[in-house]
């Protein structure tokens, strides 16, 4: 059993749950909506323009 990432309800993580890791289609769509509205973001890391040993 795992906690649903959206609501925290304990749910089975196995092939019989078509919404895994979510507990329901509602929670799955809420999560998708958060990504679509850019509420969730993966931080971008850019390498520095100059090498560390530049003098």
Residue for token pair 């958060």: 34
Percent of the chain with pLDDT over 90: 58
| pLDDT tens digits, 23-49 | 999 999 999 999 899 888 888 887 767
Q: Which residues, including other chains, have CB under 8 Å from residue 8's CB and lie 6 or more apart?
A: none
pLDDT band of 19, cuts 50, 70, 90: very high
Helices (H) and strands (E) in the chain, counts: 1, 2
- Is residue 50 within 8 Å of residue 30, measured between CB atoms? no
Domain residue spans of the chain: 2-36
Half-sphere exposure of 51 (CA within 13 A, CB side): 3
Task: Please give the pLDDT value at position 38.
Answer: 87
Mean pLDDT (the chain) is: 87
Decide yes or no: CATH 3.30.50.10 for domain 2-36. yes
């Amino acid at each position: 059993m795992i906690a649903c990432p959206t609501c925290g309800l304990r749910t089975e993580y196995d092939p019989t749950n078509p919404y895994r890791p979510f507990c329901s289609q509602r929670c799955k769509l809420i999560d998708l909506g958060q990504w679509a509205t850019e509420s969730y973001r993966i931080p971008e890391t850019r390498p520095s323009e100059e090498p560390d040993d530049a003098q």
